[in-house]
Amino acid sequence: MAIKIDELDQRLISILQLDCQINTKVLAGMLNISQTPLRKRINKLKKAGYLNYYVGIDKSKFPNAVATNIGVLLNDNREGTFFNFEQEISKLESITNIQRVSGKLDYQLTFLFRDKNEKEDFLLNQITQISEIKIFHCEDVLKEIPQSKFRVL
């Protein structure tokens, strides 16, 4: 369902991107509207598919955790290969993000491992078993920089 997003909706979405669990009273105050129209706007945006609520984790509470980005090049560019790869990669417990990309790679994947041993086991025993993968390379995340501004489309 397509709806028109006005300036107030854009401000609402920007705030929710920073804190999706913000108190509605505080949020209404930030937007200079009462709570009832705020709830109506939120419900309208949810129903139209513009809002999803996900709970983030505080990674500092897991000091041994390893976030890793993995770039993947597949064996070929047939649609069936992409489909099979996406089915297989989606089954993996530690995956947090899958993006099909253009350029030298076919996919950019993000994983979150409990520790370096889980990552090593994954690299040796799981990703190498996916037959559609020709080449992959890993980059560990050293630091995540919080965003204070998000673009609303």
Residue 13 has pLDDT above 80, yes or no: yes
The pLDDT of residue 153 is 55
Question: Could you give the residue range(s) of every CATH 1.10.10.10 domain in the chain?
Answer: 7-47
Q: Give pTM, 2 decimals.
A: 0.67
The residues of the chain that CATH labels 3.30.70.920 are 60-140
Residue 131 has pLDDT above 70, yes or no: yes
Answer yes or no: are the C-beta atoms of 89 and 137 closer than 8 Å: no
pLDDT for 90: 92
Residue 5 has a pLDDT of 87
Residue 10: predicted pLDDT: 86
Q: Which fold has domain 60-140?
A: Alpha-Beta Plaits (3.30.70)
103: left (phi over 0), alpha (psi -120 to 50) or beta: left
Strand partners, 133: 74
**Distance from C-alpha of 81 to C-alpha of 59, rounded to nearest angstrom:** 34
Between 2.40.160.40, 1.10.1040.10, 3.40.50.450, 1.10.10.10, what CATH number should domain 7-47 receive? Answer: 1.10.10.10
Q: Say if residue 95 is exposed, middle or buried (CB neighbours under 10 Å; 0-12, 13-18, 19+).
A: middle
pLDDT at residue 147 is higher than 70: no
Q: What is the pLDDT of residues 66-115, one digit of tens each?
A: 999 999 999 999 999 999 999 999 999 899 899 999 999 999 999 999 89
pLDDT higher than threshold 80 for residue 130: yes
Model confidence over 30-68: pLDDT tens digits? 999 999 999 999 999 888 888 876 656 667 778 899 999
